[in-house]
Amino acid sequence: MTSQRKISRLVRRLAQASPQEVLFRVRQQAWNRSEALRARLGWGFAAEKQGVSELPVCPRAGRFFFSSADLPELIHTLRARLPQAAEETVERAEEICAHRFDLLGYSDLDLGTRIDWHRDPVHQKTAPHELFYRVPYLDFATVGDSKIIWELNRHQHFITLGKAYQLTGKADYFQEFEREYYDWQQQNPYLVGINWASSLEVAFRSLSWLWASGLFARSRAFSARLKRDLLLALGRNARFIEHNLSTYFAHNTHLLGEAVALFFIGVLCPQLRRAAAWQALGWKIILQEAEYQVRSDGGYFEQATYYHVYALDMLLHARILASRNGMAIPQSLDRTIENMLDYLAALSAAGPASRFGDDDGGRCFDPRRNRAEHLSDPLSTGAALFRRGDWKARATGLAEETLWLLGPAGVTAYDGLPDEPPKAASRAFPATGVYVMASDRMRLTMDAGPFGTGHCGHAHADALSLTAAADGREWLPDRGTCTYTGSDAWREVFRGTAAHNTLRIDGQDQAASAAPFKWERIPQVRVENWWTGEHFDLLVASHNGYQRLAFPATHRRMVFFMKAGFWLIIDNVEGAGEHQLELYWHAASGPAKLTSTALEIGSGEGERFGIVPLSDAGWTLGLVDSWDSPSYGQRLPASALRCSIRTSLPAEFATLLIPRMREPLGQLARLTGTTGAGKTRGFRYGDGREWHSWVLGDGQGPWRLEEFESDARFAYCAQNAQGKPCQAFLWEGSFLAVQGVKVIDLPSRADHSERVWREGEGTRQEESGHAGGVLAAGLREQRC
């Protein structure tokens, strides 16, 4: 980018900014330039040249998560409880000593005899060695993918070397840490190069150095000189972060991570002159951002699961360190963290956590735990910290991070929690706009909330998209992120509407992409109905993202959950004119077979998942090539079911999702026949063992469709092989009759009502809803 273009962008940005932001940015830029001059001339850095002999090594240092005296017990517990993690740590340490790294989704990268800390080893590009504010870190042609460079320069592999040293006592691991540290300092002088271009990266590197200092504390080779050099370097980092906070640039996990680093340095390095100020500033920002960045229901405001976990990690680490150092923990902070954990637990029912939005690829503790199945790690620590057995049930076992943060006592607390999983329950998070329909090892999650915050930089065009899991496996996943940069279009492909389990109109995304981290014409999503009962759930939501078309259109999605076994999805597109409609269902990795009536995912030997689209002559069904990104940087072949039509609006389509599918799958077809008032239409699915029917009315009066009569806006009825009703549900109605017999008869119109009859229980009925009702006399119970 030319200087003229940079100036033009800066002028436009400042023209839109508040006076406070303009003043903040001017001061920041002035400080950076004066600091660069001071560093070049050596002013104010005399202590570094003198070896800092005047600074004491370790007076009244703050308490880290563990002390050197704790390390033998920690290592013993690690070997006993997590032997595989201990073994993998040593293996990874050997790879690090050979300069072979796994970075984000890239595996076994050989960085050569001497590491070039400015080089993207995947795309073979090296960032220029200039003052940090001159480095175009988002210019792929110049620097490659800056995230890959920064992932290495976070130095989180120093933690692996430290743990391996404690596990084996092998001096090679300390020597590698020391060599790399001084080599990095030589290649990255203060303020020079891409590794000073992001305050968040300086923050992560600082945290890694603090962890390494704690893990190598018992090494006899850990000299006073190295300790002093680390202390001074941490002071420089904190000084830089303090004056380059992302208050206006990236008021999200960037600012939160920077605050956490300031807090850690302030607590753990009291020898530094401004330590107390950094501690106070960091803690203040942490508390403020916990309130600002987390919605009232516990969801993170970026509308991205990965960033939710990212922020949760930061808050947990800061909260635990504060407590260990005797600081009072505000109830508001604990409440926020608990709400975030509760949200994550709901998303983790029945399988890996539901992913929405961008996948950053980084983690606070172990950067290799960056896939969907690792996102529930905070639940392990949260369960031990807050004594919550329900979170333990949602975690994928004891996380190693829990041991290092809370010590053996935390492991004991975790073990003491009940092992019995809580009863699955559907949950609504209306502020975040995420709705979870769950029961008996099944879960569907739908994104029906705000697009994000600000320019929605980490959101995807995924309004009304959903994911589905059952029995520990995700069958309808989110496709991930793949990349943030690059000269190709992969950023737009993975965040586009077609990469999600939702509907696209006229080949356009639901919002207009303005930049890799910016959306325009952002859709508004509205939840029109949410109800959860004992046997059924109902969610209805719509968005106006396609109102910007020449012939505006509105997408409305209804999800009906019969908790004993399936979800029915009804997609309705209202508007005028002719449009191309495309509905995508992205299959999990593994075998996928498209038959004449359904897409079958999984093998015949294990659990399988069925996607049964409506049999409609106007729609074209096909299995199309797709891509999946399990972690940042990965792009793997995948497949998706594409249901498409070019038609005039309004239009409607239905899809049945069946976990634990049985053979043979049946057919989903339209109901036909005489109708009453309004535009009544319906669908029926049968597989020879039972029949399921759904009818939609307009709520304006009674209607009749085939053997069903009602005045409901939506009605469902299940019938056994003999045609006898055994389950029924109404939304906004007072009665439902099947073959002339009323199976639900309410004294007045109810918002919702559900009925299930069980064989062998006389005339007993189960009901839930906003109004009571009675079974019609003489109706015999049947079981589906």
Q: Is 336 helix (H, G, I), strand (E, B) or coil?
A: helix
Residues 681 and 653 in one domain: no
Q: What is the pLDDT of residues 99-151, one digit of tens each?
A: 999 999 999 999 999 999 999 999 999 999 999 999 999 899 999 999 999 99
Asked whether residue 486 is assigned to any structural domain, the reply reads yes
| Domain end marker among 389, 422, 455 | 422
Q: Would you state the pLDDT for residue 771?
A: 36
Task: Answer whether 0.85 is exceeded by the pTM.
Answer: yes
Q: How many CA atoms lie within 13 A of 480 on its CB side?
A: 24
Residues 72 and 162 in one domain: yes
Asked whether residue 494 is assigned to any structural domain, the reply reads yes
Q: Would you state the pLDDT for residue 4?
A: 55
Residues 151 and 234 in one domain: yes
Q: What is the pLDDT of residues 256-265, one digit of tens each?
A: 999 999 999 9
Residues 321 and 179 in one domain: no
Q: What is the DSSP secondary structure assignment for residue 227, as one 8-state letter?
A: H
| Domain end marker among 373, 403, 422 | 422
Asked whether residue 496 is assigned to any structural domain, the reply reads yes
φ/ψ bin of 286: left (φ > 0), alpha (ψ from -120 to 50), beta (otherwise): alpha
Residue 186 belongs to domain with CATH number: 1.50.10.100
Judge contact between 601 and 610, C-beta under 8 A. Answer: yes
Asked whether residue 610 is assigned to any structural domain, the reply reads yes
Rounded Cα distance between 520 and 221, Å, is 56
Alpha-carbon separation of residue 151 from 14, 50, 204 (angstroms):
31, 32, 9
Closest CA to 779 of 734, 728, 733, 726: 726
Q: Is the pLDDT of residue 292 over 80?
A: yes
Residue entry with tokens 């959903």 = 466
Q: Would you state the pLDDT for residue 48?
A: 46
Longest Cα–Cα distance of the chain, Å, equals 97
Residue with the bigger pLDDT between 702 and 781: it is: 702
Residues 203 and 181 in one domain: yes
Residues 376 and 322 in one domain: yes
pLDDT band at 575 (very low <50, low <70, confident <90, very high): very high
Q: What is the DSSP secondary structure assignment for residue 294, as one 8-state letter?
A: B
Q: Is the pLDDT of residue 250 over 60?
A: yes
Q: Would you state the pLDDT for residue 59?
A: 47
Residues 471 and 618 in one domain: yes
Rounded Cα distance between 680 and 712, Å, is 10
Residues 240 and 338 in one domain: no
Mean pLDDT across 289-302: 96
Structure tokens of 582? Answer: 């495309």
Q: Is the pLDDT of residue 386 over 50?
A: yes
DSSP bridge pairs for 609: 601, 659
Q: What percent of the chain has pLDDT over 90?
A: 78
Q: Would you state the pLDDT for residue 178?
A: 98
Q: Is the pLDDT of residue 44 over 70?
A: no
Q: Would you state the pLDDT for residue 605?
A: 60
| Domain end marker among 611, 631, 665 | 665
Q: Is the pLDDT of residue 706 over 90?
A: yes
Asked whether residue 78 is assigned to any structural domain, the reply reads yes
Q: Is the pLDDT of residue 780 over 50?
A: no
Strand ranges for 481-635 from DSSP E: 503-505, 512-515, 518-520, 525-532, 536-543, 553-562, 566-575, 578-586, 592-594, 599-601, 609-613, 620-628
Mean pLDDT across 75-98: 98
Residues 191 and 276 in one domain: no
Asked whether residue 56 is assigned to any structural domain, the reply reads no
Question: Cα dihedral sign for 666, 670, 676, 680?
Answer: positive
What crossing angle do the helices spanning 199-215 and 224-243 adopt, rounded to 10°? 160
Mean pLDDT across 297-316: 96
Q: Would you state the pLDDT for residue 196?
A: 98
* 249 residue type, one letter: F
Residue entry with tokens 């399936």 = 566
Q: What percent of the chain has pLDDT over 70?
A: 91
pLDDT band at 46 (very low <50, low <70, confident <90, very high): very low
DSSP bridge pairs for 622: 642
Three-class SS of 445-471: EEECCCCCCCCCCCCCCCCCCEEEEEC
For residue 178, the tally of other CB atoms under 10 A from its CB is: 19
Rounded Cα distance between 444 and 432, Å, is 16
* 458 residue type, one letter: H
- Report how far Cα 5 is from the mean position of its chain's Cα atoms: 35
Residues 653 and 671 in one domain: no
Rounded Cα distance between 28 and 30, Å, is 5
Residue 573 belongs to domain with CATH number: 2.70.98.70
Strands 651-659 and 667-671: what pairing?
Answer: unpaired
Asked whether residue 249 is assigned to any structural domain, the reply reads no
Q: What is the pLDDT of residues 628-686, one digit of tens each?
A: 999 999 999 999 999 999 999 999 999 999 998 877 889 999 998 754 445 899 999 99
pLDDT band at 774 (very low <50, low <70, confident <90, very high): very low
Mean pLDDT across 746-750: 91
* Mean of per-residue pLDDT scores for the chain: 90
Judge contact between 579 and 551, C-beta under 8 A. Answer: yes
Closest CA to 559 of 546, 548, 550, 568: 568
Domain holding 468, by residue range, is 432-665
Rounded Cα distance between 411 and 413, Å, is 5
Rounded Cα distance between 400 and 369, Å, is 11
Residues 678 and 537 in one domain: no
Q: Is the pLDDT of residue 417 over 70?
A: yes
Residue entry with tokens 């038609």 = 647
Q: How many domains does the chain have?
A: 5
Q: Would you state the pLDDT for residue 6?
A: 54
Residues 674 and 646 in one domain: no
Q: Is the peptide bond before 59 cis (omega within 30 degrees of 0)?
A: no
Asked whether residue 58 is assigned to any structural domain, the reply reads no
Q: Would you state the pLDDT for residue 11?
A: 64
